Amino acid sequence: MHNTVKVSDKIYWLGANDRRTHLFENLWPIPNGISYNSYLIIDEKIALVDTLHFSTADDYLDKIEELIGKDRSIDYLIINHMEPDHSGAIKAVTEKYPNIKIIGNLKTFKILESYYGYQDKWKQVEDGEEISLGYHKLKFVMTPWVHWPETMMTYDVTDKILFSGDAFGSFGTLDGGIFDDEIEFDDYYLEDMRRYYSNIVGQYSNMVQKAFAKLKGVEIKMICSTHGPIWRTDVNKVISLYDKWSKYETEKGVVIIYGSMYGNTAKMADYIARKLSENGIKKIRVYDASKTHISYLINEIWRYKGVVLGSSAYNSGMLPTMENLTRTLEHMGVKDHLLGLFGSYSWNGGGVKALHKFYETIQWDLVSEPIDSKGIPGDETFKRCEILANAIAEKLK
């Protein structure tokens, strides 16, 4: 079921909440669900900005018809992003409105061709190009790799509204409140938004900064993303969050993540956490990588400056869950962290050695010598754990 909500005089939000899907992109857990947002501009010409996930599009066309009437057609379908959670209803919309023109850039159409075709309906736009709907004038801003190669944004020059695609989006359904002034953002959405950013967009942080440079000096009164709330009251808040996250700016805290088979590495993790606390560090999070989904671990790494990673040895390497985490962090190119490394083994090392290889690739600030403990950790191991904790606390202060 879709609601329609007036965004401004001639613009409507057409959205759907998905509370059924467990994994977004069949990868990231979404316990709070997710919203899909599409926007309809009813002017002398009618434009639809992005569509919905095909699984949520059951009454989408009915809602559009209710708003524009049976006698009118959609003139333009603007595709800011081709990912199927936003392009899933393209076929249905195009078949209902066969005279529609599909607006996108060259890269949009390369992807569109492989999904649906429709070459006769393409209207290719360049960076900075504008079209008029009558009252509304729309300008297209190319923002490639935020987070697909074809991503762009559509700026309504008239009402100063930015249709931003996936940028400024968030996990979490819209439970009644659609606008930022109707929701408790810090209590409910902030974690989901950071996790959305770090998991989905974070790898392309340098491209986010390039997008910011393009939007510099542009007056933005409202941000309409394809996921999460519409920002109309405190636009600067969401912009500053994305700016901070894309610059890898962090809080003074430490996340300790470990993989432990029989509890020895876990003991070291708890000891390091206690010593950090004795050093006055209050923001400390400890996670077992075998239990907590990587999505949440990445989110915490994005949040805190200090990262302490531990692994027991496993087949002469690190535990597979830790290997997955470190490989993902390398792939994402995460920057600017303090790093501590520790672990244990019974008969043959490899966990800490593999963690050190990760350090050599990622080049974070290693605060002390890695700790590799044989068997059950004893006084000597705990002394080294204390040195690690003291070093990271000192650097944080």
Q: Which residue has the tokens 């109309």?
A: 232
Structurally, how many domains does the chain consist of?
2
Residues 235 and 115 in one domain: yes
**Beta carbons of 22 and 8 less than 8 angstroms apart:** no
Q: Give the pLDDT of residue 1.
A: 42
Q: Compute the chain's Rg from CA coordinates.
A: 24
Residues 234 and 310 in one domain: no
Which amino acid, 38? Answer: S
Residues 228 and 319 in one domain: no
What is the span of the domain harbouring residue 174?
Answer: 3-246
Last residue of a domain, one of 205, 222, 246: 246
Residues 336 and 307 in one domain: yes
User: Cα–Cα distances in Å, from 348 out to 278, 355, 358, 379, 395?
Assistant: 33, 15, 19, 21, 33
Residues 206 and 295 in one domain: no
For 90-127, letters b (16+ CB in 10 Å) and e give bbbbbeebeebbbbbbebbbebbeeeeebeebbeebee
Residue ranges for the chain with pLDDT beneath 70: 1-2
Residues 169 and 63 in one domain: yes
Residues 310 and 359 in one domain: yes
User: Cα–Cα distances in Å, from 340 out to 131, 231, 249, 314, 332?
Assistant: 53, 39, 19, 20, 19
Q: What is the Cα–Cα distance from 359 to 262, expressed in whole angstroms? A: 25
Query: Model confidence over 4-28: pLDDT tens digits?
Result: 899 999 999 999 999 999 999 999 9
Residues 258 and 242 in one domain: no
Q: What is the Cα–Cα distance from 344 to 314, expressed in whole angstroms? A: 10
**Beta carbons of 169 and 229 less than 8 angstroms apart:** no
Residues 173 and 232 in one domain: yes
Last residue of a domain, one of 217, 246, 275: 246
**Beta carbons of 101 and 121 less than 8 angstroms apart:** yes
Q: What is the Cα–Cα distance from 8 to 139, expressed in whole angstroms? A: 18
Query: Model confidence over 238-283: pLDDT tens digits?
Result: 999 999 999 999 999 999 999 999 999 999 999 999 999 999 999 9
pTM above 0.75, yes or no: yes
User: Two tokens at 21?
Assistant: 């899907």
* CATH number of the domain to which 326 belongs: 3.40.50.360
Residues 307 and 180 in one domain: no
Q: SS3 of 305, please?
A: strand
Q: Give the pLDDT of residue 57.
A: 74
Residues 60 and 204 in one domain: yes
Q: Give the pLDDT of residue 347.
A: 87
Last residue of a domain, one of 206, 226, 246: 246
Residues 177 and 209 in one domain: yes
User: Cα–Cα distances in Å, from 211 out to 20, 108, 147, 245, 303?
Assistant: 33, 18, 11, 14, 22
* CATH number of the domain to which 53 belongs: 3.60.15.10
Q: What is the Cα–Cα distance from 218 to 342, expressed in whole angstroms? A: 48
